[in-house]
Structure 1
Amino acid sequence: MAEVPFIAIEGPIGIGKTSLAKRLSDQFNFHLLKEIVEENPFLGKFYDDIDEWSFQTEMFFLCNRYKQLEDIEKKYLLKQKAVIADYHISKNMIFAKRTLQADKFEKYEQIYHILTADMPVPNMMIYLHASLDTILERIKMRGREIEQNIKASYLAQLAQDYETYMNEFEIMHPNIPVIRINGDQLDYVKNQNDLEYIIHEVQKQLQTFQVAPK
């Protein structure tokens, strides 16, 4: 039996992960897994004072993503039903390394590895990246009030962190295909041809999978 597709979309804040995940979910009739963001009660405080609220914020995200993946595994993946997610749980480490002080990061890392030791791992990644100007424009366009205090310097650092992480990911996981999408060049929300290009790239990778109905 071939692996059931479990696709994760990753990239910096505001890059368009959820928008793309929705479109691909509709196209391929895969279950859509969306991360919990605005429900995080610490997020607004985090953007105002990262040092003070980073640990609470990251722990909330970690626990919720752990629960989501646990449910997804039982309800879909183990039943050979494909899933597409607008995040990869390893993003927690990208943010934690950037925001947590050394002593708190050490504690967080231990908890992270305990929780994720037997979690399902995506077998395809879509990595969205773009310039800081594009990221800032998209954050402004979607108009989440909670994100209006994000500093451009933080977003720039985060974008670089993602680039470093994805380069390392491809080295560490050579058997997991990574589709890289340049958000400066492709706008799959406004341009149908751009969306069809991405669908085609995903379809090529899906040819190795055996997909069960949703």
Structure 2
Amino acid sequence: MAIIVIGGMIGAGKTSVAELVANALGTEVFYENVDDNDILPLFYTASEEEQEAKRYPFLLQLEFLSSRFKNIKDALINQNNVLDRSIYEDWYFCKINNKLGRISDTEFKIYEKLLNNMMEELEELPKKSPDLMVYLTGSFDTILHRIGLRGREFEQDQGLMDYYHTLWSGYDDWVENYYHASQVLVINIDEFDVVNRPEDADRLIKMVENKLVEMNIETSVY
């Protein structure tokens, strides 16, 4: 039984990698709630005044936390599942928005209390955490290029560049020094294009396979 989370910046290609790994494992992907998330476009497009009045950043983090908690509960009771981003990364996004003043200190404390209560509930499940994070890292230019390629209009505003850069600049440090839920396999997306180069897709799956073997976890990978 292997539970794998795919982590990384906005636009890093998590969904493509999650589907690739899940297909190799013959299992299911638990997706990040983007298409049915009414708050997400508002988070990107609302003015600062609207953000302040409506508290969209805080509401968005609660929405993601709720959907992520459901996903992780479902994934942890089944075999060989893949999560498109982890509940642990939600904390990082919330902290960055707190640092930027978009989420107040009081809201952040409430968020942490709720997250901690949710994580305590996981103690009732057969597994308490994922086995492996496949972490997608890369240059800021690559991130921006891929955000552009996927074409979500609300993500393209030039005013978002500072926000993206703040998230990106601290992500590697958070994974290296603060993420302790599982082992980590780092994939440099400057060197991998699993969508357009089949050889890169095969190479990534082989790296995941080797890592799981190293961890003494049996799966159905190839």
Length-normalised TM-score, structure 1: 0.87
Q: Which residue of 2 aligns with 1:38?
A: 35
Query: Quick one: distance in 1 between partners of 2:70 and 2:142?
Result: 32
Q: Which residue of 1 aligns with 2:92?
A: 94
Per-residue displacement from partner, 1:93-118 (whole Å, max 9, x unpaired)?
Answer: 01110112212111111111111224
Given that 2:7 and 2:134 are in contact with CA atoms closer than 8 Å, whether structure 1 keeps it comes out as: yes
Query: Quick one: distance in 2 between partners of 1:143 and 1:192?
Result: 23
Query: Quick one: distance in 2 between partners of 1:205 and 1:129?
Result: 17
Tell me which of 175, 188, 191 is aligned to 2:194. Answer: 188
Alignment of 1:167-186 (within 5 A): 167-169=176-178, 172=180, 176-186=182-192
Given that 1:126 and 1:178 are in contact with CA atoms closer than 8 Å, whether structure 2 keeps it comes out as: yes
Query: Quick one: distance in 1 between partners of 2:83 and 2:58?
Result: 24
1:21 is displaced (CA, Å) by: 0.7
Task: Return closer, same or farther for 1:73/1:178 CA change in 2, 3 Å cut-off.
Answer: closer
1:71 is displaced (CA, Å) by: 2.4
1:205 is displaced (CA, Å) by: 1.9
Alignment of 1:111-126 (within 5 A): 111-119=114-122, 120-126=128-134
Which shifted more, 29-38 or 81-90?
Answer: 29-38
Tell me which of 190, 193, 207 is aligned to 1:201. Answer: 207
SS of the residue corresponding to residue 105 of structure 1 reads: helix
SS of the residue corresponding to residue 151 of structure 1 reads: helix
Amino acid at match of 1:10: G
1:168 is displaced (CA, Å) by: 1.4
Tell me which of 2, 6, 23 is aligned to 2:3. Answer: 6
Amino acid at match of 1:164: D
Gaps of 5+ in 2: 98-102, 123-127
RMSD, aligned CA: 1.9
Q: Which residue of 2 aligns with 1:57?
A: 60
Q: How many residues align?
A: 202
Gaps of 5+ in 1: none
Length-normalised TM-score, structure 2: 0.84
SS of the residue corresponding to residue 33 of structure 2 reads: coil
1:169 is displaced (CA, Å) by: 4.0
SS of the residue corresponding to residue 135 of structure 2 reads: strand
Query: Quick one: distance in 2 between partners of 1:67 and 1:202?
Result: 25
1:10 is displaced (CA, Å) by: 0.3
Tell me which of 101, 123, 130 is aligned to 2:138. Answer: 130
